[in-house]
Amino acid sequence: MAGVVSATHRSKPGDFPAIFTRVSYFVEWIRETIKEPSSVTEIPKYLRMFGSIFNRP
């Protein structure tokens, strides 16, 4: 993986802001973060909106 882009919509990319990042900058943080099993049992409310972005007509 070389980079990550924020949520955009393929048919209307101009409707959503695009934010890019270089993964190599965050590799150590990613490794440390994924070492421990996740204790999240429910998707946080602020992340649920992404499902509605991608399922728009």
Reported as a pLDDT band with limits 50, 70 and 90, residue 8 is low
Q: Which residues contact 20 (CB under 8 A, 6 or more apart)?
A: 3, 4, 5, 6
CB 54 within 8 A of CB 11: no
Q: What angle do CA 31, 34, 39 make, to 5 degrees?
A: 160
Residue range 10-54, pLDDT digits in tens: 666 666 667 777 788 888 888 887 777 666 677 777 666 665 555
Measured distance CA(2)–CA(14) in Å, rounded: 23
